[in-house]
């Protein structure tokens, strides 16, 4: 294994061929964490959901910010993180004691494109209601949500002139709502219902499926067409 100046040990297990993330990028990482004796204390693999976080801004332990920054998308690595780069004297939970050295097997799955998505070469689809959409990333074998199920969606919303008015990625928290129950604008109930879990899409929502003549929040003007770049993260 190699050692950095900070005391982090790392070994690249498998080389990917993707780009390397930069500070401030949102990345998705699959991981399994163990103690030195092999006791597993956490695993995103067991949950089937990689962990998203903003790199280099202290959202994760120091050893992760340093170690993940050295990887390229698709790389798998082993990180051995001393206590001072992990949870320090306070430890964490029931299993991680004070100054505990931690071992992580990690894979950098993705540098998240939070928008705007590139729709060049993507098929434009239209529904009878007037909704227009493009599938950016397909997962046709994954499940689709049914009305009443709770869905979790990451999104960035734009006006037609490109002005961003909202993004769940800025909060690092996907938005959850029961599908088809009128809890969101009509274009969302319809558009999210067209997706499979894990898919990314651009929804172009005319005003009658959005906020109509009243607009919203002083940010969305009356009769505005809205553009949402979305990812259906999970279905419960």
CA 113 to chain centre: 9
Q: Spot the catalytic one: 166, 220, 227, 235.
A: 166
9 is catalytic: no
Confidence at residue 93, expressed as pLDDT on a 0 to 100 scale: 87
Establish how many alpha carbons lie within 13 A of residue 47's alpha carbon, considering only the half-sphere containing its beta carbon: 13
| pTM of the model as a whole | 0.83
- pLDDT given at position 5: 97
Catalytic residue status for 175? no
- What per-residue confidence (pLDDT) applies to 30? 98
Q: Quick one: pLDDT at residue 86? A: 98
155 belongs to the catalytic site:
yes
pLDDT greater than 90 at residue 218: no
Rounded to 5 degrees, what are φ and ψ at 166? -170, 150
Choice among 68, 228, 229, 235 that is catalytic: 228
Beta bridge partners of 227: 158, 204
Q: Which of 82, 120, 121, 119 is nearest to 103 (CA)?
A: 82
Give yes or no: 12 in active site: no
State the pLDDT confidence band at 180, using cuts at 50, 70 and 90. very high
* Mean pLDDT to the nearest integer, 140-152: 97
Domain range summary for the chain, segments of one domain joined by +:
2-111, 125-235
Q: What is the pLDDT of residue 217?
A: 82
- What is the pLDDT at residue 152? 97
Provide the CA 148 distance to its chain's centre, in angstroms: 23
User: Is 211 a known active-site residue?
Assistant: yes
What is the assigned CATH class of domain 2-111?
alpha beta
Catalytic site residue 133? Answer: no
Residue with tokens 């962990």: 51
In CATH, the architecture of 125-235 is: Roll (3.10)
Q: Which of 87, 155, 229, 235 is catalytic?
A: 155
Neighbour tally for 107: CB within 10 Å? 21
* Residue 113, pLDDT score: 87
- Which whole number is the average pLDDT over 80-93? 96
pLDDT tens-place string over residues 112-143: 988 799 999 999 999 999 999 999 999 999 99
The stretch 59-82 carries a mean pLDDT of: 98
Average pLDDT, the chain: 96
Phi/psi for 110 (5° steps) reads -165, 145
């Amino acid at each position: 294994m190699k050692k950095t100046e900070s005391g982090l040990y790392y070994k690249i297990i498998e080389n990917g061929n993707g780009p390397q993330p930069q500070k401030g990028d949102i990345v998705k990482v699959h991981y399994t964490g163990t103690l030195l004796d092999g006791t597993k204390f956490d695993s995103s693999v067991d949950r089937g959901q990689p962990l998203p976080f903003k790199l280099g801004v202290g959202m994760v332990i120091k050893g992760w910010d340093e170690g993940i920054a050295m990887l390229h998308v698709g790389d798998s690595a082993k990180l051995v993180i001393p206590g001072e780069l992990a949870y320090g004297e306070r430890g964490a939970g029931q299993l991680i004691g004070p100054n505990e050295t931690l071992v992580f097997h990690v894979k950098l799955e993705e540098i998240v494109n939070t928008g705007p998505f590139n729709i060049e070469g993507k098929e434009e689809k239209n529904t009878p209601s007037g909704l227009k959409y493009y599938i950016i990333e397909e997962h046709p074998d994954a499940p689709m949500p049914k009305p009443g199920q709770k869905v979790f969606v990451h999104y960035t919303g734009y006006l037609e002139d490109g002005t961003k008015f909202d993004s769940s990625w800025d909060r690092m928290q996907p938005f959850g709502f029961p599908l088809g129950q009128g809890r969101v604008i009509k274009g969302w109930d319809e558009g999210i219902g067209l997706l499979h879990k894990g898919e990314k899409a651009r929804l172009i929502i005319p005003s009658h499926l959005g906020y109509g003549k009243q607009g919203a929040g002083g940010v969305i003007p009356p009769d505005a067409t809205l553009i949402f770049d979305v990812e259906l993260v999970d279905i419960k």
